[in-house]
Structure 1
Amino acid sequence: MTDRPHPLLRDHQFASAPVPTSPRSERPSLEVSFIVCTRDRAAVLEACIASIQAACRVHATFAAELVVVDNGSRDGTSKRLAAIAETSDIPVTAVSETRPGLAAARNAGLARARGRVLVFVDDDCKLDRDYLRDLERHYRSGEKWLIRGGRVELGDARDLPFTIKLYEASERLTPAVHPGGFVLGCNMTMHRDVAARIGSFDERFGAGGPLRSAEDTDYLVRAMLLGMPVEYVPDMTVLHHHGRRDRKSIDRLHRDYSLGNGALCLKHVRHAPWLLRHVYWSARAAFRELAGRPRFDRDLDLSHWPIVVMNLAGAARFALLVMMGWPKRLPLRHDRQASEANAEARAR
């Protein structure tokens, strides 16, 4: 698949119904756009939005907006968003994306964001009150050509310790480290010019898509292939309330991640063959498990074997999607409102 960079997807075809309503929508300069994608999780979404609003009040000089993409909710999310926007002290834009999948929702959010810095936050996360202070400090350095992700802590002690990252030191991604989970998609930031350079998220990947996961990991790999660093920082903290409290749900997610990662290896086999090393290392570790060597995660009792099996299944599914020509290329439609948002951002 050829990723064609363009100004924040202004020609990207998506079914959207933007409703920009907020008492402060007239503010002329936006430093940051928070992009939150959601589907049928109105209750946790409200807590996420409240945490973003609280963080913005603490650091009000760093002008922010919130873009919420409703990916086909049927639980009254749109009505709740309209009510929130009426009283919000930051601009709120609600976007309806009818095409299923997290990658499609992220693309719709990208197309409407107007901020200089883009921040992807999952709807089951809450921002630390000092998040914007940390974000501004990192981007004040002037280095914009990178993807940066922050700390992800467990939001509820009853949830199992999965999809979190607690490293205490800054680090940058290298081919020696598997890109999956290096920067988590629930706390991922970039300058808008970086998004324009990389292009749209691959909609074959991600929750709700045929490959179930790894739309964020694919984005990291594509950044690296363009020569952009991927950096983790131990602040810019979010609390992840993922709600998974039984082994079955964690095992299912573990398999989904491995499916997406296997597809990722085949997609980038020509330009990032180093990804195959991680497949080999997983296979080697799986066989060593038979001799009593450590499992993938001893605390959660997760084996290397599902990684190997699902990596192969993911590669096979990706090959099938390529042969089927999915997704079908549709005629591009110029979205006037997305174009106006980008023109406004470029004029600042």
Structure 2
Amino acid sequence: MTNAQVDTLFPVISGEDAPTTDDALWIGEVQLAESYTDTVKAMESAGYPRARLLVRDGLTVRGFIEVGIDDGVILGREMSREMSRLPARSAHTFADQSPSISVVMCTRDRTAAAARAVESLLAMDYPHFEVVVVDNAATTLDTWRHIDSLADPRVRVIHASVPGLAAARNRGLEAATHGIVAFTDDDVVVDRHWLTCLAAPFLDPKVGCVTGLVPAAQLRTAAQCTFEQRVRWSASIDRREYRKDDTVHGKLFPFRVGDYGTGANFAIRRSVAFALGGFDEALGAGSPTKGGEDIDWFVRTIVAGHTLVFEPDAITWHQHRDDDDSLGSQAHGYGLGLGAWLTKVAFDRDLAPLALARAGSAVVHLVTSFYGRAKPRLRSHTPSVAGAARAELSGLIAGPRALLTARAQGRNPKPFRTFGHPGTDQGEPS
């Protein structure tokens, strides 16, 4: 324990608006080893009835707790009681050496969000990294001007002319100067220890991809609460490894895409990325398919014989969409990306046989996902729940056509088989 008791907690995102739903949760973080006063002030918590707190033991995630807030105050004894109920986890293993890492963050006409994400990246506690901001088919120079104004040699901005997240990530891969490349989005705030935790598994040369935990940075509106319940990106804090020949991950493996993580938090070996041909440019936000590039990448990595590691101690906090219209659009995009990716799998000579052998399990999984999924435990009336499900299903149905449209635009599934090369990867662990 520390000598001084902690009497104040701060939100993950400051300057929040007031909550608009009874289900709202104030989001913060606490340390298991800290000593807290009897009454702990939760800053900027006006209107929040409860708090969701990430509990860490050093860098090791122990879990989440929910506690009440009364007039901006959390009871220290309630926090201690809930923390004592969390199961033990093995401590985070640190690397003896810190490989240099290139961080690629893609954005388009979202300068305010990008600025906040970059600010958190530059505040990381990691010795050797660069930040490559990919300005993807932007209509203004605002992001360029902001990055230039920072005058920080660790960050630079480049242009990607082809709209689409996968194309932008490929551009970032080309521009990266280090052998490990981490990816995140402009709607996140990264934990200051993100790269420290993300880098450690790469000391194993068989590891080709590492993903991390993506908890909600804000649960202020009904739409945000609905999205959090549906995606469940932070539902599991178990460290996991996935290999092609594993037999312990169920009948659907390696197509259990919800287990691997999400595109807001992952890192890859640059040499592996070029060997696999890069990201499929028909997939991803900004393309006709709106999504799917991350699940495509995770499955391709495993099928190619590389190990994928889910490392829950590597955290990026995600800013969920805060209104029903944005939620519906995002849900439709996720369904569209999934439908497009499933169509790609069906016509892929390597993946199709694997998928066919698991077709029965896949159908059950899809039906369960859309119709048997546990209803979100939301106390208030939230019309966004049913709307999000319908939007996702309609996207799934439209996925095949979206993929055909993307291919008709000339979007290459493996662009690095056609152009580009990895060059000499600096700082990649061996």
C-alpha displacement of 1:193: 2.0
Q: CA–CA distance in 1 between the matches of 2:186 and 2:109?
A: 10
Residue 226, structure 1, aligned to residue 304, structure 2: yes
Residue type of the partner of 2:213? R
Residue type of the partner of 1:247? D
Q: How many pairs were matched up?
A: 302
Secondary structure of 2:330's aligned partner: helix
Residue 157, structure 1, aligned to residue 219, structure 2: yes
Give the aligned partner of residue 337 of structure 2: 260
Give the aligned partner of residue 7 of structure 1: none
CA distances 1:175-199 after superposition (whole Å, capped 9, x unpaired): 3463147311010111222212222
Q: CA–CA distance in 2 between the matches of 1:257 and 1:181?
A: 16
Residue 261 to residue 194, structure 1, CA distance change in 2 (3 Å): same
Residue 81, structure 1, aligned to residue 147, structure 2: yes
CA distances 1:37-59 after superposition (whole Å, capped 9, x unpaired): 0111111211211111111xx33
Q: Which has the higher contact order (CA 8 A, sep 6+)?
A: 1
Residue 107 to residue 278, structure 1, CA distance change in 2 (3 Å): farther
Give the aligned partner of residue 9 of structure 1: none
CA contact (8 A) 2:99 2:427 kept: no
CA contact (8 A) 2:289 2:406 kept: no
Q: CA–CA distance in 1 between the matches of 2:257 and 2:161?
A: 29
**Structure 2 counterpart of 1:326, from 392, 406, 410:** 410
CA contact (8 A) 1:295 1:301 kept: no
CA contact (8 A) 2:167 2:281 kept: yes
Give the aligned partner of residue 345 of structure 1: 426
Secondary structure of 1:218's aligned partner: helix
Residue 116 to residue 284, structure 1, CA distance change in 2 (3 Å): closer
Give the aligned partner of residue 124 of structure 1: 187
Residue type of the partner of 2:233? K
Give the aligned partner of residue 65 of structure 1: 130
**Structure 1 spans left out of the alignment, 5+ residues:** 1-28
**Structure 2 spans left out of the alignment, 5+ residues:** 1-97, 243-248, 347-351, 379-383
Q: CA–CA distance in 1 between the matches of 2:428 and 2:312?
A: 33
Q: Percent identity?
A: 26
Give the aligned partner of residue 4 of structure 1: none
Q: CA–CA distance in 2 between the matches of 1:245 and 1:306?
A: 16
CA contact (8 A) 2:281 2:412 kept: no
Larger radius of gyration: 2
Residue type of the partner of 2:106? C
Give the aligned partner of residue 238 of structure 2: 169
Give the aligned partner of residue 26 of structure 1: none
Q: CA–CA distance in 2 between the matches of 1:250 and 1:314?
A: 18
Secondary structure of 1:154's aligned partner: coil
CA distances 1:136-177 after superposition (whole Å, capped 9, x unpaired): 33333x234321111112112325143562121112455346
CA contact (8 A) 2:215 2:233 kept: yes
CA contact (8 A) 1:282 1:307 kept: no
TM-score of the superposition, structure 2-length normalised? 0.62
Secondary structure of 1:150's aligned partner: strand
Residue 251 to residue 344, structure 1, CA distance change in 2 (3 Å): closer
Q: CA–CA distance in 2 between the matches of 1:102 and 1:168?
A: 27
Residue 42 to residue 317, structure 1, CA distance change in 2 (3 Å): closer
Give the aligned partner of residue 280 of structure 1: 363
CA contact (8 A) 2:290 2:333 kept: yes
C-alpha displacement of 1:342: 2.8
Residue type of the partner of 1:215? E
More strand by share: 2
C-alpha displacement of 1:306: 4.8
Residue type of the partner of 2:163? P
C-alpha displacement of 1:114: 1.0
**Structure 1 counterpart of 2:167, from 101, 104, 108:** 104
Give the aligned partner of residue 208 of structure 2: 146
CA contact (8 A) 2:113 2:186 kept: yes
Alignment of 1:31-50 (within 5 A): 31-50=100-119
C-alpha displacement of 1:307: 4.5
CA contact (8 A) 2:282 2:412 kept: no
C-alpha displacement of 1:318: 2.4
Alignment of 1:309-320 (within 5 A): 309-319=394-404
Q: CA–CA distance in 2 between the matches of 1:260 and 1:101?
A: 12
Q: CA–CA distance in 2 between the matches of 1:179 and 1:149?
A: 12
Q: Which moved more, 1:166-175 or 1:303-312?
A: 303-312
